[in-house]
Structure 1
Amino acid sequence: MKILLIGATGLLGNAVAKELEGKHEIIRAARHNADVEVDITKPDSIKRMFEQVGKVDAVISATGHAHFGALEEITPELNEESIESKLKGQVNLVLLGMDHVNDDGSFTLTTGVIMDEPILHGASSAMANGAVKSFAKSAAIEMPRGIRINSVSGTVFQESPEGLRAYFPGFDPIPVSKAALAFRKSVEGAQTGQSYEIY
């Protein structure tokens, strides 16, 4: 398969690429230092990416920034960071990418554990993650030409920076390679409308 992997230079994206390369052709996309550059907060950038890449069999999003901060200190502007990137950015990959995915292809989006298990300072991120999960579940029944759509929700990774892991006291970190397996399940399997929750 020809797979477009967005967020390929990040921790998760690198693990997904490692899991899939060898068997598939991976086109790496990121803001910098990738086969194709893209900023998912800008629809025009997404359009240019798809035009540059052409038809693919699968699109994987292993990206999306979300704001972390105390609820009382979250402003509409800070909350917009989560909406523009984690939520709208990933949704727009689907809306703008459907015509660039071959029949019976797939989209796989990324969410996260805090949509199900709240943490301090995670309200904005949880909002965006939960919305992405709901979008994928609902969109699955309307996707054209046999195209499938799923999301992957991982918990905190063992390889995550210490500062990020500190947000998740008492959580059992997983190796990022375990989360990467869920992306393979989504791409190579037959399910649609699923949220693969790797907790």
Structure 2
Amino acid sequence: MKIMLIGASGTLGSAVHRTLADRGHDVLTVGRGAGALRADVSDPAGVAALYDAAGPLDAVACAAGDVPFKPLSALTADDFHAGLRGKVLSQVELVRQGVSRIAERGSFTLVTGVLAREPIVAGSVASLANGAIEAFVRAAAIEIAPQRVNAVSPTIVTESVPDYGDFFRGMPSVDLADVARAYVRSIEGAQTGQVFIP
């Protein structure tokens, strides 16, 4: 399959890229500062240009999404707008514009995270964004068939515990390889409207 992977140079994206490539897929990497194609997917015009440059695709997968982490008392309306634009609207736009651009039985795999169901201090924007993506996946799935859409919702990855473990106290971690396998399940499988929790 020809798969466009957004966020391919990040910690998660790199693992997903390697896994998909090892399985024989043609992976078109996308990032803001690195990748075969460069794009800011928080800009709808950038998403349109990205699809124009990519050509025919079988699947689109996203492993990127920016949200601010601050205590609720310190968050501004702009912080919430930034989180929605950076993680929710960017991924919604990939699906909205992509349904006419990918294969008839193609798929979309979006990224959410544990904070949709297990909140942490200073994570309210991430919880809001993750919950919104998971609701969108369920709703979009009933409208875009036979195309499919799913989300992968990991907890903190083991490889990032040294940097971010203090924010996720007491939460079990998951290896990057397990998260990458959830992307494979979404892309190569037959299910739709699912939130895969590796």
Q: Normalising by the residue count of structure 1, what TM-score does the alignment of the two structures yield?
A: 0.96
Q: Aligned residue pairs: how many?
A: 197
**What SS does structure 2 have at the residue aligned with 1:40?**
coil
Deviation of the 1:162 alpha carbon: 3.1
Aligned equivalents of 1:157 and 1:193: distance in 2? 23
1:62 is aligned to 2:83: no
**Deviation by residue 1:76-120 (Cα, 9 ceiling, x = unmatched):** 011111111111011011111111110110000000001001111
Provide the identity percentage.
Answer: 37
Deviation of the 1:161 alpha carbon: 5.9
**What SS does structure 2 have at the residue aligned with 1:5?**
strand
Superposed, 1:1-199 pairs within 5 Å as 1-22=1-22, 23-144=24-145, 146-160=146-160, 162-198=162-198
Aligned equivalents of 2:161 and 2:193: distance in 1? 31
**What SS does structure 2 have at the residue aligned with 1:8?**
coil
Aligned equivalents of 2:179 and 2:117: distance in 1? 17
- CA RMSD in angstroms, aligned pairs only: 1.0
Q: Name whichever structure is richer in helix by fraction.
A: 2
Is the contact between residue 161 and residue 173 of structure 2 (CA under 8 Å) also seen in structure 1? no
* Moved segments of 4+, more than 3 Å: none
Deviation of the 1:164 alpha carbon: 2.0
**What SS does structure 2 have at the residue aligned with 1:41?**
coil
Q: Normalising by the residue count of structure 2, what TM-score does the alignment of the two structures yield?
A: 0.97
Counterpart of 1:152, as a letter, is: V
Is the contact between residue 112 and residue 131 of structure 2 (CA under 8 Å) also seen in structure 1? yes
**Deviation by residue 1:111-146 (Cα, 9 ceiling, x = unmatched):** 0001001111111110000000000111000004x1
Structure 2: gaps (5+ residues): none
